[in-house]
Amino acid sequence: MVESLLSPEVEERVGDDIRAAEKALYLQLIHEVEPLPGARELLLELKRRGQTIVLVSSAKEAELLHYVELLDARGLADSWTSSGDVEQTKPDPDLVHAGLEKAGQKEAVMVGDSPWDCIAAKKAGVETLGVLTGGFSREELEEAGAVAVFDSIVDLRERLDETPLRVE
């Protein structure tokens, strides 16, 4: 990400230092993170519909476990992946492949809020439902491969029957 945001030269010169500083600063603030409105309710609805739920995150394992606890999702998610499970994280498809493996399935639908989510899923042959919660525009998510984009997680949950996650 350092290279993408700054330059290959900055990545080579101080990339490791930037990542170390980011981790320390983020961990100081992690207690301020809150679940997005409707996130747990979406998981509950997907579980009610019989969906297998695998949380696919580029976060470090400790961070991911913090988020799982915040969502009270330990009993809802069938499994999860973190950056420690793969060689490369999004936009490479490794995390999506790891999620499919943990789900024991070859087909899935991903919910994501960044172009990297959409790109990783597309490379893995998985459709993505985009949500405008990651700071990216509808156009950016669609250009990256989202098959549909929703204003919020609540909007997605209310319109699940319009998605590949509908009950058949």
Cβ–Cβ contacts within 10 Å for residue 73, how many?
A: 19
Domains and their CATH numbers in the chain: 1-32 (no CATH), 34-162 (3.40.50.1000)
Angle at 45 between CA 39 and CA 49, to 5 degrees: 145
pLDDT in tens, 120-140: 999 999 999 999 999 999 999
Rounded to whole angstroms, how far apart are CA atoms 99 and 157? 21
168 contacts 147 by C-beta, under 8 angstroms: no
Name the pLDDT band for 23 (thresholds 50, 70, 90): confident
pLDDT over 90 (residue 72): yes
Tokens 């290279």 locate to 3
Mean pLDDT of the region 50-78: 95
